Structure 1
Amino acid sequence: MADFDIVDPRFRALVLPNAPLEKLADGFRWLEGPVWFADRDELLFSDIPNNRVLRWSESGGVSVFREPSGFENGHTRDRQGRLLSCSHRDRCIHRTELDGATTVLADRYQDRRLNSPNDVVVKSDGTVWFTDPPYGIQTDYEGGKQCAELPATVYCLDPRSGRLRAVVEDLDGPNGLCFSPDESRLYVAETGLQFAAEPKQAIHVFDVVAGTGDGLPGLAHGRVFLDTHADGMRCDEQAHLWIATGDGVHCFDADGSLLGRINVPSRVSNLCFGGRHRCRLFLCASQALYAIYTNTRGAQRP
């Protein structure tokens, strides 16, 4: 099997024939939430069922960053370089401070507990955006069964004031999300109901609008960007959307046209750009961690 398929000739400029897909490590249960730390030259990622967050580096291989982890899923970094994490077990978004202490940023909305925060991104104004489906509390595999108290929702949080607002409430299982490079758009994957025979699956895109009465930015003009299964997503600096899906990674232009695919032997749950010049794409693929060098760089937003 070739490492990638070129669907549109434009994809040729984004991939490198002499840079194959590499397996970096395996033997995990279910990987998620990769985030690159350029200042430490290492990748952090979650092995959710094993209740741990791991680190990988070129020189040191794999080691444990945090165990137990509260069955953390998605991660990102804030504008100060601190780690933000989505905890299934503790049903919260929390921040790892520079001294290693953890601070809960959000665990309730309107006096009800969050479900199981899944993925998280930070806008250049410091606001934190995250998805909160019930996936992590519907089984004992990823954190333990608990009762959902809220509908599946996308939230915007101001960590300075603690203000939290629901910005999308009508999706069946919001999952991965990412901003376009200029932050004018927010993409959100809808993975559907976990045990449905035919779950509703699509990628939605929203226009990001200026602050409203509570000072938080909002979303408008939501529409379906693609009718497809998607999990984690990232944009490169040219506004191409790279999505994790069942048969690898699909790359789409901002106009919605499929450019090409990276073929991976197992289901990819999430991905991120990192490494030298942010041109290495790291892939969490079921029980293994992969990477491939590309000819594009991950978006570096304002």
Structure 2
Amino acid sequence: MLSDHLPVTATIRLRESADRLSVFASEPTLLQETGAGEGPAWHPDLGLLTSGEGNINRRTPDGEQTVWFPGAGSNGLRFDDRGDLIICQSAKRRLVKRRQDGSLQILAAEYQQMKFNTPNDLTIDAKGRIYFTDPRYGDRSTIEMHDADGREVEGVYRVDPDGTIERVITHEVDRPNGIAITPDNRYLFVADNNNNNRRGGARKLWRFNLNPGGDIDAATQTLIYDWGATRGPDGLKLDIAGRIYVAAGLNRPNLPFETADPSTAGIYVFSPQGELLEFVAIVRDEVTNCTFGGSDGKTLFVTAGGTLWSLRTTTPGQGF
């Protein structure tokens, strides 16, 4: 079982071990000052794509920066096994696929005749099923998604290869953001980050067991970490050893909803058992997401407040 952790209040508690080996092989390096707000996704030929300034922007393996998909209005990005890009097109409240020829296919725009809130982040399991989170930050006046009792729903959805859309999380978390699945389809991780609209919202990372059919076992919900009153977890990725890399925290308080005492913004690394192994600070707010890339899969790219950072890791990310 994963152990519960108390909220961050004074220090970031790392595993106490004289022989603890770092998962990082370098300090963070600032690559660019603009254009990298969210959704980093690596492609071996294209390089790195990020959502920023309303577009999907490209940074080639040689470091050249261009606008790749103008006006995309995107957040989370991920390439599927065929090399097509799956996009959380937040501005249009839908999930789409951008094929390699540039054409768009709408994968999900509504559920039970209700528009999604704002698709945020996604992952793809070993069976090709797409899971995406659907929170609503900021203005809530246009929310359509409600349950049978009229309660607002900020859920997690699954899109099967045949196009069927199912809701897999309804009220088990407060406001889902980042999401990841282990390669064996055993576990689903969800970043629960209600960092605005009300005080006392969740800033937690959860784990659920996945059933073979792609639904969660709600009884297995397990808390991995609680960031307390600071900014909670956003994007997350796994390496091939099963460790979880989570973008979270703040350098400066964002009152009244988020504190930052002490500075907690950066990348948190947890063991497969949920133990906090390492923390590396990123000095820009907000640290929003991360992904592995580079020719060997050992470069971790981090988005933070529109800026882009990189650091080397000792282990490749999943998919490399």
Tell whether the 8 Å contact from 1:79 to 1:124 is kept in structure 2 after alignment.
no
The answer for unaligned runs of 5 or more in structure 1 is 140-144, 212-216
Aligned pairs for 1:122-161 within 5 A: 122-135=124-137, 138-139=138-139, 147-150=142-145, 151-158=153-160, 160-161=161-162
Tell whether the 8 Å contact from 2:24 to 2:311 is kept in structure 1 after alignment.
no
After TM superposition, the score normalised by the length of structure 2 is: 0.82
Separation (CA, whole Å) in 1 of partners of 2:299 and 2:63: 18
- Paired residue for 2:29? 22
2:301 to 282, 292, 295: 282
Question: How many residues are matched?
Answer: 278
Tell whether the 8 Å contact from 1:31 to 1:285 is kept in structure 2 after alignment.
yes
2:50 to 45, 52, 69: 45
- Paired residue for 1:293? 312
User: 3-state SS of the aligned residue for 1:259?
Assistant: strand
Deviation (angstroms), 1:161? 2.1
Tell whether the 8 Å contact from 1:11 to 1:260 is kept in structure 2 after alignment.
no
The answer for unaligned runs of 5 or more in structure 2 is 1-12, 146-152, 250-264
Aligned pairs for 1:5-154 within 5 A: 7-9=15-17, 11-16=20-25, 19-28=26-35, 31-38=37-44, 40-47=45-52, 50-69=53-72, 71-135=73-137, 138-139=138-139, 147-150=142-145, 151-154=153-156
User: Could you list the runs of 4 or more consecutive aligned residues of structure 1 that deviate by over 6 angstroms after TM superposition?
Assistant: none
Deviation (angstroms), 1:265? 0.7
1:251 to 269, 286, 308: 269
Deviation (angstroms), 1:300? 2.8
Q: Which amino acid aligns with 1:20?
A: E
Deviation (angstroms), 1:11? 4.9
Q: 1:74 to 1:11 in 2, by over 3 A?
A: farther
- Paired residue for 1:227? 226
After TM superposition, the score normalised by the length of structure 1 is: 0.87
Deviation (angstroms), 1:7? 4.7
Deviation (angstroms), 1:225? 2.2
Q: Which amino acid aligns with 2:50?
A: F
Deviation (angstroms), 1:248? 0.5
User: 3-state SS of the aligned residue for 1:276?
Assistant: coil
Separation (CA, whole Å) in 1 of partners of 2:63 and 2:193: 35
Tell whether the 8 Å contact from 2:93 to 2:118 is kept in structure 1 after alignment.
yes
Q: Which amino acid aligns with 1:202?
A: K
User: 3-state SS of the aligned residue for 1:232?
Assistant: strand
Tell whether the 8 Å contact from 2:195 to 2:203 is kept in structure 1 after alignment.
no
Q: Which amino acid aligns with 1:218?
A: D
Separation (CA, whole Å) in 2 of partners of 1:90 and 1:75: 15
Q: Percent identity?
A: 27
User: 3-state SS of the aligned residue for 1:12?
Assistant: coil
Separation (CA, whole Å) in 2 of partners of 1:263 and 1:227: 18
Deviation (angstroms), 1:188? 0.2
Tell whether the 8 Å contact from 1:181 to 1:235 is kept in structure 2 after alignment.
no
Deviation (angstroms), 1:192? 1.6
Tell whether the 8 Å contact from 1:91 to 1:116 is kept in structure 2 after alignment.
yes
Q: 1:243 to 1:193 in 2, by over 3 A?
A: closer
Q: Which amino acid aligns with 2:107?
A: L
CA RMSD of aligned residues (A): 2.0
Q: Which amino acid aligns with 1:255?
A: Q
- Paired residue for 1:214? none
Deviation (angstroms), 1:20? 2.9
Separation (CA, whole Å) in 2 of partners of 1:181 and 1:270: 20
Q: 1:22 to 1:162 in 2, by over 3 A?
A: same
Q: Which amino acid aligns with 2:215?
A: G
Tell whether the 8 Å contact from 2:46 to 2:58 is kept in structure 1 after alignment.
no
Q: Which amino acid aligns with 2:292?
A: F
Tell whether the 8 Å contact from 1:173 to 1:191 is kept in structure 2 after alignment.
yes
Q: Which amino acid aligns with 2:31?
A: L
Separation (CA, whole Å) in 2 of partners of 1:122 and 1:43: 18
Tell whether the 8 Å contact from 1:128 to 1:156 is kept in structure 2 after alignment.
yes
Tell whether the 8 Å contact from 1:21 to 1:290 is kept in structure 2 after alignment.
yes
Q: Which amino acid aligns with 1:89?
A: A
User: 3-state SS of the aligned residue for 1:299?
Assistant: coil
